[in-house]
Structure 1
Amino acid sequence: MLALSLAACQGGGGSDGGSSSDSAASAPTPDTRPPSVPTGLTVLIVSSIAFNVTWQPATDDVGVMGYRLYRNGVEIAAPTTAPYQDTNLVSGTTYRYAVAAFDAAGNVSARSAEIAATTSALPDTTAPVVSLTAPAADVVVKGSITLDASATDNVGVVGVSFFLDGVVLGSEDTVAPYARTWDTTAVAEGTHSLKVRARDAAGNVAESAAITVTVKNTLDPVHFVATGDYGRTANTDKVLARMSTLFQTDNIAFHLGIGDLSYGLNGQESAWCTYMRTGMGGSVPFVLLTGNHEDDRSANGYIGNFIKPPDCFPDPVGATGVYGAQYWFDYAGQIRIIMIAPGLPVFGKTYRYRASSTEYQWLAQTIDAARTAGIPWVIVGMHMNCLTMGVKGCHELDPGGSGADDLLNLLIAKKVDLVLQGHDHTYQRSKQLAHAPGCTVLRGDYSATGGAQAVYNSACVADDGADAAYPKGAGTVFVISGLGGDDIYAVSESDAEAPYFAKWMGAGSAGAGFGFLNITIQGNRLSGEFLPAEAGRFTDSFTIGQ
Structure 2
Amino acid sequence: MAGSLRTRGKFRLGAAFLALSLLLTACLPGPPEPPPPSPTGSPQPTTSGQSADTTVHFTAQGDIGVGSGAKKVLDVVAGLKPQLNLALGDFSYEAGIEQQFCDMVTGKLGTDFPYQLVTGNHESDGHEGDIENFVRCLPNKLPGLQGEYGTQWYADVPEKNPVVRFILVSPGIDFRNGPLDYSRDSDRWRWTTDAIDGARAENIPWTVVGMHVPCFSLGRYDCQAGEEFTNMLIDKKVDLVLSGHDHVYQRSHQLATGTSCRGLVPASFSANCLADVDSSTVQGAGTVFATIGVGGVGLYDIKSKDPEMGYFAKWSGRNQNPAMGTLDVNATSSDLSARFVPAEGYSLTDSFRIQRK
State the TM bucket, normalised to the shorter chain.
0.7 to 0.9
CA distance in 2, matches of 1:438, 1:483: 34
What displacement does 1:320 show? 0.5
Q: Is the 8 A contact 2:324 2:346 kept in 1?
A: no
Q: Partners of 1:286 and 1:307 in 2: how far apart?
A: 10
- How far, CA to CA, are the matches of 1:282 and 1:429 in structure 2? 31
Q: Which of 406, 411, 415 is the matching residue for 2:237?
A: 415
TM-score scaled to structure 1, two decimals? 0.54
Q: Which of the pair has more CA radius of gyration?
A: 1
Q: Which amino acid aligns with 2:247?
A: H
**3-state SS of the aligned residue for 1:378?**
strand
Q: Deviations over 1:289-329 (max 9, x none)?
A: 00000112x42110000011xxx111111420111111100
- Mapped partners of 1:268, 1:284: distance in 2: 21
C-alpha contact (below 8 Å) 1:244/1:281 kept by paired residues: no
Contact 2:50 2:333 in 1 (8 A): no
CA distance in 2 between partners of 1:283 and 1:321 (Å): 21
From 223, 234, 237, give the equivalent of 2:68.
234
Provide the residue aligned with 1:271 in structure 2.
Answer: 100
Cα distance, 1:216–1:294 mapped onto 2, change above 3 Å: closer
Q: C-alpha distance in 1, partners of 2:178/2:309?
A: 33
CA distance in 2: counterparts of 1:246 and 1:229, whole angstroms: 19
**1:56-75 deviation line (CA, Å, top 9, x unaligned):** xxxxxxxxxxxxxxxxxxxx
- TM-superposed CA distance for 1:357, in Å, is 1.2
* Structure 2 Cα separation of the partners of residues 390 and 345 of structure 1: 20
Match of 1:441 in 2: 263
Q: Normalized per residue, which structure has more strand?
A: 1
Q: Which residue type is aligned with residue 261 of structure 1?
A: F
For 2:190 and 2:178, the matched residues in 1 are separated by 16
Residue in 1 aligned with 2:165? 336
**Aligned-partner residue type, residue 170 of structure 2:** A
User: Are residues 1:490 and 2:324 paired?
Assistant: no
Aligned to 2:275, which of 462, 481, 484? 462
Kept in 1: contact 2:64–2:91 (CA 8 A): yes
Show the 5 A alignment for 1:164-179: none
**What does residue 122 of structure 2 align with?**
293
The answer on 1:526 being equivalent to 2:339 is no
1:46 is matched with none
In 1, the alpha carbon distance for the partners of 2:214 and 2:205 equals 25
Distance 1:350 1:513 in 2: 31
- Superposition RMSD in Å: 2.0
Letter of the aligned partner of 1:456 in structure 2? F
* Alpha-carbon distance in structure 2 between the residues aligned to 1:343 and 1:372: 28
Alignment match, 2:6? none
AA paired with 2:78?
Answer: S
- In the alignment, the residues of structure 2 paired with residue 319 and residue 346 of structure 1 have an alpha-carbon distance, to the nearest angstrom, of 22
1: CA distance, partners of 2:186 / 2:174 = 15
Letter of the 1:457 counterpart: S
Check whether the contact 1:382–1:420 (CA below 8 A) recurs between aligned residues.
yes
Closer/same/farther in 2, CA of residues 537 and 358 from structure 1, 3 Å limit:
same
Write the distance in 1 (CA, Å) between the matches of 2:103 and 2:199: 35
Q: What is the alpha-carbon distance in structure 2 between the residues aligned to residue 540 and residue 515 of structure 1?
A: 11
The residue that corresponds to 1:320 in the other structure is 146
Q: Within the alignment, does 1:405 sit opposite 2:227 as a pair?
A: yes
Counterpart of 2:353 in structure 1 is 543
Which 4+ runs in 1 deviate beyond 6 A?
none
Is 1:353 the counterpart of 2:182? The answer is yes
In structure 2, the CA distance between the partners of 1:488 and 1:216, relative to structure 1 (3 Å rule), is closer
**What SS class does the counterpart of residue 293 from structure 1 fall into?**
helix
2:55–2:163 contact (8 Å) kept in structure 1: no
The letter for the 2-side match of 1:463 is D
- 1:390 maps onto 2:219 in alignment: yes
8 Å CA contact 1:260–1:293 kept in 2: the answer is yes
**Unmatched segments (≥5 aa) in structure 2:** 1-32, 35-48
Give the letter aligned to residue 232 of structure 2. L
Which residue of 1 is the match for residue 327 of structure 2? Answer: 517
Q: CA deviation at 1:347?
A: 7.1
**8 Å Cα contact 2:113-2:141 kept in structure 1:** no
CA contact (8 A) 1:221 1:520 kept: yes
Distance of 1:363 and 1:347 partners within structure 2: 22
Q: Structure 1, residues 450-487: CA drift from partner, whole Å, max 9, x if none?
A: xxxx221111110013xx11111110000000111011
Q: In structure 1, the residue corresponding to 2:121 is in which secondary structure?
A: coil
The alignment partner of 1:294 has SS state of helix
Q: CA deviation at 1:352?
A: 2.7
CA contact (8 A) 1:485 1:514 kept: yes
1:137-156 map, 5 Å? none
CA distance in 2, matches of 1:344, 1:279: 29
Distance in 2, Cα, partners of 1:543 & 1:282: 32
Inter-partner Cα distance in structure 2 for 1:228 and 1:477: 17
Aligned residues: 307
State whether residues 294 and 301 of structure 1, in contact with CA within 8 Å, keep that contact through their aligned partners in structure 2.
yes
| Structure 2 match to 1:306 | 134
Distance in structure 1 (CA, Å) of the matches to 2:100 and 2:77: 20
**Same amino acid, percent of matched pairs:** 39
**TM-score scaled to structure 2, two decimals?**
0.82
SS in 1 for 2:122: coil
The 3-state SS of whatever aligns with 2:54 is coil
Aligned to 1:260: 90
Separation of aligned partners in 1, 2:112 and 2:337: 23
Contact 2:90/2:123, CA 8 A, preserved across alignment: yes
Identify if the C-alpha distance between structure 1 residues 276 and 217 changes in structure 2 by more than 3 Å, giving closer, same or farther: closer
